[in-house]
Structure 1
């Protein structure tokens, strides 16, 4: 099976293209898959709105990736930034490596996970007695080149959230113990979800997520009935449901592959970059992360739409998701942060809008 062919997985997963009513969340996930350097997405919303289902569904639909066989870090066969140091040394020494294909991993991070479970552990005794670096990989190693999903991220220990965000930003995980240090690639799309009623994430952590998707329970009765019926049909006969959406699933996968290839050719004009920074300045966004993420997301969206020149409409579509979680909260303010971003965007880009 080639990486461009859609296969029905052994364990049926609800089809991504069948999910309705949560378009913003689906788009944020798709853009992060096209360009993982956007920095992940935090999905905040009501319970029972399909957050976990959607994340599993997009992982299931992604094209297979080439990896070094039997490598615990999913090392890339040719990209040094995505391969472990052992594999890189082996390749530099002229050794040949076996390459195989595997599905993109989605790693669930349990709330009770310890730092050792997340980062991996070094067997000191083995290192001292046998003189070898005995490393037991953690969840960050398994998530390399995949998706790391943290449900209820707002309930996770802040120290662990820091570790995840640092690894996601740098693309590397370093484990140090008793003077022994091991480093491995850990480039993944970090997806966090949570319910605001159970506590907010600290602003300095929230800011580290590239995009923010806000989801609400669908209120339209007809759409609710459609969602319930779809789920019932899938539970009754998963294979028939997957076969029904096979063409749409394949079309979406092809679109993602094409966008990933097109991304390097997309460009964002100087005039539009200045206006994006004007919006960030006007909204009093701290630091430059908002500017960088908006530029990246706009280019990823342009590639997703199949064109190489970013337009004002591209920016309009993604800017709320990139900036609303970076605004300083004023408890006396009644205006929604997304509406505030939209208003400032229209003021600054007004002369360029249709």
Structure 2
């Protein structure tokens, strides 16, 4: 499929960020099966990349281990790039992550992205337990560890200077012919500064921190220093979407996710993601209702044509030629537990409007 042009005559590509939501009645296996089918649909429709996140100890999210999930998804798709959005590096040993990514790139050459973030992906208890279980990274060492992983993934490897003065060569995988593309992720100016300084592609978390997107991207583009891997700034936009045949249906499909995020932000019990029918009768506090109203303004919740227009406008506004959508449409109580028909339908509708030019 050939992407259509934006208002500024740039092609607009689409990608997907998946948290692998677990809805009421589903098991982790059901949720993963639904996401595999969604990735396969994105692959067939011509989406550019399919990324998974890292979150821990959340009943509504099965995306806990990006490298494992990336292997599953890459094996079940044909051409789409598969990646992490992202791996929370302070939770992990850089060498272990580099080895995992090296294996993935060897198995699926030219299809592996890796996005690194500093956030823990959970609460302080889980973060502490992850580190006590063997992770040796920390937030203060983030920049150093990102650079180390990039070097370890390079076919030539990296040299570790021993106390004896000798160099000890380390490689993520033997006989590598290529390496995963490393992206910097963030929701603050720190990540923009770092990505620019290291000459890495950069993604700001517009889907949950949209107020700072303009400043972060301007900072990144202004300060960017070319590197061996990247000659000019490279970025895209992340956007929460719910697309259906009518705007009313799109809002109803988005409501379970909106309510879940409102509960998270108000410290209320989370639980599994509600179905559309359950969300329609769920109790919502005044504070949660205000948060939902604010999120609705930031999401793209619309008909296919309306959503396409808004995505093109966002691409023009932020000067990008790719948008990574976070499919926020939820399912009905009668839907098969191994499927996510509303999310599949949303991708189909978007592809028909944006990619089928």
TM-score > 0.5, shorter chain as reference: no
Q: Which structure has the bigger radius of gyration?
A: 1
TM-score normalized with structure 2 length: 0.31
Q: Output the TM-score relative to the length of structure 1.
A: 0.31
More helix by share: 1
